[in-house]
């Protein structure tokens, strides 16, 4: 143990915390215009699948530069829709990353197909194209990359593999609304791109999701799939003065109501400023946390402009007298709401039981998981919030430095 005379005692040891109240790792921001937009819908004729759905989809498609956007009741439902549209079914496989939220892999299972994991690149923690290649089989139908933390996956390489083998790329861009890859916005690069509009994301509809695509046939299938497989919606029938409808495929009720779309439309106006703020927070972290003992900062590849949903650092325990777990607890005690993204999907009990994973299969993802810590990152963070994080991380790592 080092001499501690000139150091500030950590809050976990009874010292004064850097902040008096907990700073969460992510948080929505809702303003009066958002509230008024939702209230207007509540006073209107259509609470669900009214005019706001189409308006929101149009604005969303334009924001990401895609021809079509189809809204869903959650990012998970959007992924399920994309898996359906890609034609995944029993006997098929989709290659995906273990470094994600479980919903990414689960959507493949919803369709009766099998998610096959491939390990990630050490720098970005995104799918490693060489590992994807090694995981392909005659049953592979899709590749399902995730833009981890908001940093686009290696899309050129993955689309190249897909083209060679006739596969569909479903990009889970739940973290990457507004992110760019080779100067192009995420949303029209892969065959199908999915987004989540959960409150910790760049804009929120409460719960919600979107699939974007440039293909009209995918968009039509997605619209039907989210509405019980029915080929028209109630408003279209009312407007046409018709009662008849046809169910043409086995769909779900995954509709995003007008109430939520009105919130999304209102929030969309602040997407550019939300993105800009997250980029400023990331730049401050990059500058102020560089060189701290035992801290590895996230890498940004040259061709990528990340959307910074998360700011994931790695704790190198070989340089410290404490491991990631203790650093996590110490930062929590300082009232910095750190989190961990993600427990690799194959290590969850369901996946271990169903597929026999034991750990050790995806060493890069598993080693990263042991080190990962997400620092607070949301657009409403004030300069003081950012300063608190910088101070707390410096205080804790300074204490534990070897």
Give residues in contact with ligand PLP (CB under 6 A). Answer: 74-76, 100-101, 103-104, 146, 172, 174-175, 196, 198, 209
Nearest to 187 by CA among 216, 213, 209: 213
Stated as kind and residue range, the H or E segment containing 192 is: strand 192-196
Tokens of 278: 């997250």
Say which DSSP state 384 is in.
H
Q: Closest distance between ligand PLP and the C-beta of residue 110, in Å?
A: 12
Q: Distance between the two ends of the chain, CA-based, in angstroms?
A: 8
CB 88 within 8 Å of CB 235: no
Strand pairing report for 311-315 and 304-305: unpaired
Closest residue to ligand PLP, based on beta-carbon distance: 75
114 or 146: CB nearest ligand PLP = 146
Alpha carbon 354 to its chain's center: 25
C-alpha span between 313 and 305 (Å, rounded): 18
Tokens of 59: 């604005």
Tokens of 373: 């810590």
Alpha carbon 362 to its chain's center: 21
C-alpha span between 50 and 312 (Å, rounded): 39
Q: Closest distance between ligand PLP and the C-beta of residue 207, in Å?
A: 6
Q: Closest distance between ligand PLP and the C-beta of residue 107, in Å?
A: 8
Name the residue with tokens 């501690």.
Answer: 4
201 is catalytic: yes
Helix (H, G, I), strand (E, B) or coil at 171: strand
C-alpha dist (Å) from residue 94 to 133, 152, 168? 12, 19, 9
151 or 395: CB nearest ligand PLP = 151
203 or 390: CB nearest ligand PLP = 203
Q: Closest distance between ligand PLP and the C-beta of residue 74, in Å?
A: 4
C-alpha span between 34 and 31 (Å, rounded): 5
Say which DSSP state 10 is in.
P
Say which DSSP state 207 is in.
S
104 or 111: CB nearest ligand PLP = 104
DSSP string, 280-318: HHHHHHHHHHTT-TTEEPPP--TTEE---S-EEEEE-GG
C-alpha span between 390 and 211 (Å, rounded): 36
Nearest to 322 by CA among 398, 388, 251: 398
Q: Closest distance between ligand PLP and the C-beta of residue 336, in Å?
A: 21
103 or 281: CB nearest ligand PLP = 103
Q: Closest distance between ligand PLP and the C-beta of residue 174, in Å?
A: 4
10 or 176: CB nearest ligand PLP = 176
Q: Closest distance between ligand PLP and the C-beta of residue 77, in Å?
A: 7
Catalytic entry in 52, 141, 201, 395: 201
Q: Supply angle C-alpha 80, 264, 63, rounded to 5.
A: 80
48 or 196: CB nearest ligand PLP = 196
Q: Closest distance between ligand PLP and the C-beta of residue 195, in Å?
A: 8
221 or 339: CB nearest ligand PLP = 339
Phi, psi of 330 (to 5 degrees): -65, -40
Catalytic positions are: 201
């Amino acid at each position: 143990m080092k001499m501690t005379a000139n150091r500030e005692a950590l809050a976990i040891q009874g010292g004064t915390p850097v902040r008096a109240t907990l700073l969460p790792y992510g948080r929505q921001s809702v303003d009066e215009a958002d509230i008024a937009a939702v209230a207007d819908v509540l006073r209107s004729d259509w609470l669900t699948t009214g005019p706001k759905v189409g308006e929101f989809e149009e604005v969303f498609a334009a924001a990401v530069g895609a021809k079509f956007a189809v809204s869903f009741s959650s990012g998970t439902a959007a992924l399920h829709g994309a898996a359906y549209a890609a034609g995944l079914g029993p006997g098929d496989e989709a290659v995906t990353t273990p470094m994600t939220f479980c919903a990414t892999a689960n959507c493949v299972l919803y369709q009766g197909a099998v998610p096959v994991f491939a390990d990630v690149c050490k720098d970005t923690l995104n799918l490693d194209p060489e590992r994807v290649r090694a995981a392909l089989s005659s049953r592979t139908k899709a590749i399902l990359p995730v833009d981890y933390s908001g940093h686009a996956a290696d899309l050129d390489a993955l689309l190249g593999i897909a083209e060679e083998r006739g596969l569909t790329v479903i990009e889970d861009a739940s973290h990457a609304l507004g992110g760019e890859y080779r100067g192009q916005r995420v949303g029209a690069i892969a065959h199908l791109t999915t987004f989540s509009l959960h409150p910790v994301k760049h804009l929120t509809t409460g719960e919600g999701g979107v699939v974007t695509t440039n293909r009209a046939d995918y968009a039509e299938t997605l619209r039907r799939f989210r509405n019980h497989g029915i080929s028209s919606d109630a408003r279209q029938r009312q407007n046409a003065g018709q009662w008849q409808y046809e169910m043409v495929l086995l769909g779900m009720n995954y509709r995003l109501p007008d109430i939520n779309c009105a919130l999304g439309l209102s929030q969309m106006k602040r997407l550019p400023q939300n993105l800009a703020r997250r980029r400023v927070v990331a730049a401050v972290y990059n500058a102020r946390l560089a060189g701290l003992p035992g801290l590895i900062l996230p890498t940004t590849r040259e061709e990528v402009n990340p959307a910074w949903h998360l700011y994931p650092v790695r704790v190198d325990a070989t340089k410290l007298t404490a491991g990631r777990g203790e650093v996590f607890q110490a930062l929590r005690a300082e009232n910095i709401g750190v989190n961990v993204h993600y427990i690799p999907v194959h290590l969850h009990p369901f996946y271990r039981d169903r597929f026999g994973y034991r750990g050790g299969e995806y060493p890069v993802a598993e080693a990263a998981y042991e080190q990962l810590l997400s620092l607070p990152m949301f657009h409403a963070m004030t300069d003081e919030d950012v300063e608190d994080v910088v101070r707390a991380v410096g205080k804790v790592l300074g204490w534990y430095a070897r």
